[in-house]
Amino acid sequence: MADKDLVGKVIHYYDKIGVAVVKLDKALKVGNKVKFVHGENEFEQVLESMQLEHAQVDAGKKGQEIAVKVDKETKTGTEVHLV
């Protein structure tokens, strides 16, 4: 994946609720299709919801830490790329 598509990295994963906290390097919004990449493990999904400090938001900006519901388990350090 090209670095120009990199939008952030997972900094925490809540396995019980399937939520990843992503530190954003670029803006991201609900409806974007993203790819989570960690070594050989990767998966794509469309972002259906996003939270910032426990409040629903439609978009996140560079520097923010947003929480997204993920389809599969992920790990800290996983890169998030725009598809």
Dump pLDDT digits (tens) for 11-52.
Answer: 999 999 999 999 999 999 999 999 999 999 999 999 999 999
Count how many residues are written for the chain. 83
Other CB atoms within 10 Å distance of the CB of residue 52 = 14
- What residue ranges do the domains of the chain occupy? 3-82
Q: Is the dihedral of CA 50, 53, 56, 60 positive or negative?
A: negative
Confidence of residue 71 (pLDDT cuts 50, 70, 90): very high
User: Within a 10 A sphere around the Cβ of 11, how many other Cβ atoms?
Assistant: 13
Contact present, 30 and 50 (Cβ < 8 Å): yes
> Measured between alpha carbons, how far apart are the two ends of the chain, in Å?
10
Structure confidence at residue 4 as a pLDDT band (50, 70, 90): confident
Give the class (CATH, top level) of 3-82.
mainly beta
